[in-house]
Chains A and B, each alone.
Chain A
Amino acid sequence: MNTKWTVWLGGVLLAAVIAAALYFPALRRRVKQAKELTEKTAEQARRELLPVAPISTGDPMVKAKMFWGSRGQEGELVAVVVELPLSRDPVLRSKQVLNTLLAGPVDAESRTLPPDAALLAFYILPDGTGVADFSDEIRTSIPSGIQSEQLAVESILRTLESNVPQVLRLKILIHGQEADTLAGHVDLTQLFRVNAKDAAGTQLDNPSPPGSKLPAPIRKAVETVRKATKR
């Protein structure tokens, strides 16, 4: 090979290396963007399947009390009054206030629930027991710990207590299943007291292992929710 060809080949190789050096970071960015887009689309599609609690303009505007974290006092909740059109139907109303709670306060640091968690279903049984079914993100995205999990559950209970008097106690499910804990600490096998008027102490204080000795109405509700949210 003569010198002219060697120089020419070297020049081509150098140009190829420079082009690759410029092109590969751009390609990486594009792959990353495409991946994020796919994840967002999957999440969006999942949420679009969920029945969103409709906020009707015909519903009366109500000053709802939402319980979010206090910025001044660590580990405490503070009531924030939000004016919302709320249904008179207790199930719809529960969905509306819980969705507002999930949407979070203006100050993101005062959140008590993860921003990507969703309310999948909400039922109220004839005895006043509410059954709230949340998506997996409520346990996978919440900061792990006794304090943060306790604050999350309390914010749900206090928000329901203040806005939906028909809910006396609450069972929390995760993706249609009874969970042992929220994220490794706070016990979800129990029924939580929502309303001080609730006198059903025996039921409240009868936690049971997942899926086994649940009271019949709760077991039925768990099965209903499980079928509705089957992956």
Chain B
Amino acid sequence: MVLDPAHGGTDPGARGTEGISESDEVLQFATATKRALEAQGFQVVLTREGNDNPSFDDRSARANAQRGAVFITLHIASTGLTGTARVYVEPERPAPNNITGLIPWDRAQTPFLSLSRKLGELVQQELSKRFKGSPDTLQTAPVRQLRTTAAPAIAVEISSVSVKERAELDRMVPGVAEAIARGLTDFRPTYVVPTIPVPGGSVKP
């Protein structure tokens, strides 16, 4: 399980009231989610544990280097109804015209899209139970981080850094961690690494 607290280093992400920066807050969400997932028996790695800023590709590589990984990138928006959370997956793209069985890095997410949607729906359902005003269904958006990730991958965006008090965001941490852990637990039995169709057969990535 690869958890990605977005931004970091010289990139603070969204900035809001009380000096809140997205890069600091997502680290807190990621750490709590890691604990919740480990309690369910998942092996979890974070793409960053301090205030550094790995590239999009380096973050994806943490998941791409392992077979059977799952990737969740965590964000806090500067807009949106306070106290809500949304799940995003990549929009549908046709499968690459593949004759080698290798997945092009830039299209790495494509073979995993249906799994990403399944995971996204499960996590969104859990989030909407806990955070009133959150959508019931997942959204699609061309999120840069997801495109190069060869694993079921979702982005979770929480609203927002524009809260009146930092405590409002802090109160969301256990609920978000629990929702992700529950969604992932429900997803685990259905996760079969997809095969890539190539002329004359198929290849497992």
User: Which residues of A pack against B, CB within 8 Å?
Assistant: 74-75, 143-150, 180-181, 184-187, 189-190, 201-202, 205-209
- Is B17 an interface position by the 8 A CB rule? no
Q: If A184-B13, A205-B94, A205-B107 touch, does A145 touch B79 (CB 8 Å cutoff)?
A: yes
**Chain B proximity of A181: nearest CB distance (Å):** 5
Overall SS of chain B's interface: mixed
Residues of B within 8 A of A206 (CB): 106
Inter-chain CA distance A145–B79, complex, in Å, is 7
Taking the closest CB of chain A, its distance from the CB of B151, in whole angstroms, is 17
> Is B115 at the interface (CB under 8 A from chain A)?
no
Given A145-B80, A207-B107, 18 more A-B residue pairs with CB atoms under 8 Å apart are: A75-B80, A144-B14, A144-B15, A144-B22, A145-B75, A146-B86, A147-B159, A149-B141, A184-B6, A185-B141, A185-B144, A186-B141, A187-B142, A189-B144, A190-B142, A201-B94, A205-B107, A207-B106
Could you tell me the distance between the alpha carbons of A21 and B77 in the complex, rounded to whole angstroms? 44
9 smallest beta-carbon distances between A and B, as pairs:
A145-B77, A144-B14, A187-B144, A143-B78, A187-B142, A150-B141, A205-B93, A181-B144, A148-B79
Q: Are B142 and A145 neighbours in the complex by a CB distance under 8 Å? A: no
A182 to chain B: closest CB distance in Å? 9
Contact of A146 with B106 in the complex, beta carbons under 8 Å = no
Q: What distance in Å separates the Cβ of B130 from its nearest Cβ neighbour in chain A?
A: 18
Query: Contacts A145-B75, A145-B80, A207-B106 given: A184-B94 contact, CB under 8 Å?
Result: no
CB-defined contacts of A146 to chain B, threshold 8 Å: 75, 77, 86, 88, 141, 143, 155, 157
CA distance A150 to B90 in the complex (A): 12
In the assembled complex, the Cα of A75 lies from the Cα of B81 at a distance in Å of 10
Q: Give me 19 A-to-B residue pairs in the complex whose CB atoms sit less than 8 angstroms apart, sorted by A's number.
A: A74-B80, A75-B139, A144-B22, A146-B77, A148-B77, A150-B141, A180-B56, A180-B144, A185-B75, A185-B141, A185-B145, A186-B141, A189-B144, A205-B93, A205-B96, A207-B106, A207-B107, A207-B147, A209-B106
A181 to B73, CA, bound (A): 15
Q: List B contacts of A149 (CB < 8 A).
A: 141
Determine whether B160 belongs to the interface, using a CB cutoff of 8 Å to chain A. yes
Q: CA of A186 to CA of B140 in the docked complex: distance in angstroms?
A: 11
> Contact flags (1/0) for B1-43 with A, using CB distance below 8 Å?
0000011000101110000001000000000000000000000
Known: A185-B75, A185-B143. A145 touches B106 (CB 8 A): no
**A interface SS class:** loop
**B interface bracket (residues with beta carbon within 8 Å of A):** 20 to 34
> Complex formed: what's the CA distance from A181 to B159 in Å?
20
Report yes or no: B106 in contact with A147, Cβ–Cβ below 8 A.
Answer: no
**A180 proximity list for chain B (CB < 8 A):** 56, 144
Q: Across the interface, name the chain B residue whose C-beta is closest to A179.
A: B144
